[in-house]
Amino acid sequence: MCGIVGFYGPDDVAHDIVFGLTALQHRGQDAAGIATFDGNFHLHKGNGLIADVFRPKFLKKLKGNIGIGHARYTTQGSNDSELAQPFTTSYPFGLSMVHNGNVINFRDVAKRLHEKYHVLPKTSNDLELIMYTFASELRTKDLDHLSVVDIFDAVETTQELVEGAYATITVIAGYGLLAFNDPRGIRPLVFGRRETPNGPVYAFSSESTCFDYLGFEFIKNVGPGQAVFIDQNFKVHYKNPYQQPKNFCVFEHIYFAREDSVIHGRLVARERVRLGKLLARRVKEAGLQPDMVIDVPSSGYFAASGLAEAIGVPYRRGLVKNNHMGRSFIVSSQAGREDVVKKKLNPIRAFVEGKKVAVVDDSIVRGTTSRRIVRILREAGAKEVYFISSAPPIISPCIYGIDMAMSTELIAANHTEQEICDYIEADRVIYQSVEDLKELFSVEKGHGGSCFACFTGNYPTGDVTRYLRHIQEERQSHRSKKDKALAATSVSAKAPEPTEH
Ligand X SMILES: NC(=O)CC[C@H](N)C(=O)O
Which residues here bind ligand SF4, judged by CB under 6 A? 186, 249-251, 398, 400, 402, 451-454
Can you give the three-state secondary structure of 428-489, one letter per residue? EEEECCHHHHHHHCCHHHCCCCEECHHHHCCCCCCCCHHHHHHHHHHHHHHHHHHHHHHHHH
- Give 387 or 400: the residue with its C-beta nearer to ligand SF4: 400
> Is 271 a residue that touches ligand X (CB under 6 A)?
no
> Is 78 a residue that touches ligand X (CB under 6 A)?
no
Q: Is 451 annotated as a binding residue?
A: yes
Helix spans in 64-196 (H): 106-117, 127-139, 148-161
Angstrom distance (rounded) from CA 101 to CA 191: 18
Q: Is 144 annotated as a binding residue?
A: no
Angstrom distance (rounded) from CA 295 to CA 281: 18
Which of the choices ligand X, ligand PRP, ligand SF4, none does residue 298 contact, using the CB cut-off of 5 to 8 A by kind?
ligand PRP
Question: Cβ-closest residue to ligand X?
Answer: 2
Best CA proximity match to 476, nearest among 423, 414, 405, 412 = 405
Q: Which conformational region is residue 170 in: left (phi greater than 0), alpha (psi within -120 to 50 degrees), or beta?
A: beta
> Please, what is the minimum distance in Å from the beta carbon of residue 329 to ligand PRP?
3
- Which residues neighbour 55 within 8 Å (Cβ) at sequence distance 6 or greater? none
> Please, what is the minimum distance in Å from the beta carbon of residue 441 to ligand X?
21
- Give 66 or 131: the residue with its C-beta nearer to ligand X: 131
Is 2 in the active site? yes
- Give 35 or 440: the residue with its C-beta nearer to ligand SF4: 440
Q: Of residues 89, 102, 158, 370, which one binds ligand X by CB under 6 A?
A: 102
Q: Is 421 annotated as a binding residue?
A: no
Q: Of residues 126, 271, 361, 409, which one binds ligand X by CB under 6 A?
A: 126
Which of the choices ligand PRP, ligand X, ligand SF4, none does residue 327 contact, using the CB cut-off of 5 to 8 A by kind?
ligand PRP
Which of the choices ligand PRP, ligand X, ligand SF4, none does residue 250 contact, using the CB cut-off of 5 to 8 A by kind?
ligand SF4
Q: Of residues 65, 100, 370, 461, which one binds ligand X by CB under 6 A?
A: 100
CB 315 within 8 A of CB 294: yes
- Give 251 or 315: the residue with its C-beta nearer to ligand SF4: 251
- Give 132 or 400: the residue with its C-beta nearer to ligand SF4: 400
Binding site residues, ligand PRP, CB under 6 A: 255, 296, 298-299, 327-329, 361-370
> Please, what is the minimum distance in Å from the beta carbon of residue 296 to ligand PRP?
5
Q: Is 150 annotated as a binding residue?
A: no
Best CA proximity match to 77, nearest among 481, 486, 474, 484 = 474
Q: How many CB atoms lie within 10 A of CB 238?
A: 13
Catalytic residue selected from 1, 2, 50, 161: 2
> Is 125 a residue that touches ligand X (CB under 6 A)?
yes
User: Which range of residues in 119-127, 404-412, 451-459, 463-471 is near ligand X by CB under 6 A?
Assistant: 119-127
Question: Side-chain half-sphere of 418: how many Cα atoms within 13 Å?
Answer: 0
- Give 121 or 297: the residue with its C-beta nearer to ligand X: 121
Q: Is 249 annotated as a binding residue?
A: yes
Best CA proximity match to 180, nearest among 194, 193, 195, 162 = 162
CB 440 within 8 A of CB 271: yes
Best CA proximity match to 373, nearest among 425, 418, 414 = 425
In order, the DSSP letters of 286-336 are: TT---SEEEE-TTTTHHHHHHHHHHHT--EE--EEE-TTS--STTSSSHHH
Angstrom distance (rounded) from CA 189 to CA 172: 19
Residues found near ligand X in the complex (CB under 6 A): 1-2, 72-77, 85, 99-102, 125-127, 401
Residues annotated in a binding site for Mg(2+)? 299, 361-362
Residues annotated in a binding site for [4Fe-4S] cluster? 249, 398, 451, 454
Catalytic residues: 2
